[in-house]
Amino acid sequence: MAALVLASGSPRRLELLKQFQGHELRVVIPQTDECCSLPAGQAVGELSRRKAMCVETYPGEVAIAADTLVELNGHTLGKPANEAEAQMMLEKLSGHWHDVYTGITVFNGQRMLTETERTRVRFAPLSIHDIKSYIASGEPLDKAGSYGIQGRGALFVSAIEGDFYNVMGLPLFRLGQLLNKFGIKL
């Protein structure tokens, strides 16, 4: 049985990773530069690799790192810097389709595999009251694209095409496939 090392400070990623019962779990908060000028679909892979490389793994351990970004009409939306930026992002997403990309890297100190998951999400039209009320909850301030589908942000989602867990920040099916390539059975 392998030990899994999550390279993330995200409580929701930790909760999702607990789905892989029977494996010891350790959390490390990676210290890495999260700036990347690549398009969102490529940036998430690069950023997850950087995070994974920050983790010191011991024999029998596998590091798991992920990064999630939202892309709307070719523009990348990361985590908002403040409430004004969150409002701007939510106004742009209102009534539109966007893509959520998560790069996921599995690394055991010698071998590294990285894959990217893409999910399409459509927001219903939002009123300014909806947006301001949501921002006042504090929920959007630490999430790519300024929303969390696992929380109140779910009320804005009118359609989804792809992996729901990807929008939460950890595509479980893809992660399971990567871990299987490392000989880790779930």
Q: What average pLDDT values come out for the chain (186 residues) when binned by 10 residues?
A: 75 79 77 83 95 86 93 94 97 98 94 97 98 96 93 96 95 93 83
Rounded Cα–Cα distance for residues 26 and 22 (Å): 13
Residue pair 181/113 in contact (Cβ under 8 Å)? The answer is yes
- The amino acid at residue 7 is A
Query: Per 3-state DSSP, what percentage of the chain is helix, strand, and coil (rounded to 5)?
Result: 35, 30, 35
Distance separating alpha carbons of residues 169 and 69, to the nearest angstrom: 9
CB 8 within 8 A of CB 102: no
Cβ count near 159 (within 10 Å)? 10
Please give the pLDDT value at position 26. 77
Helix (H, G, I), strand (E, B) or coil at 78: coil
Is the pTM higher than 0.85? yes
- d(CA 102, CA 79) in angstroms, rounded, equals 14
H or E element: which one contains 7?
Answer: strand 3-7
**What's the CA gap between 180 and 186, in Å, rounded?**
8
What pLDDT, on a 0 to 100 scale, did the predictor assign at position 13? 82
The tokens for 6 are 């999550």
Structure tokens at 156: 């804005």
Q: Is 67 a catalytic residue?
A: yes
Beta strand 61-72 with 3-7: parallel, antiparallel or unpaired?
parallel
How far apart (Å, rounded) are the C-alpha atoms in residues 91 and 95? 9
Q: Enter the tokens of residue 153.
A: 């942000």
Catalytic annotation, pick one of 33, 67, 99, 142: 67
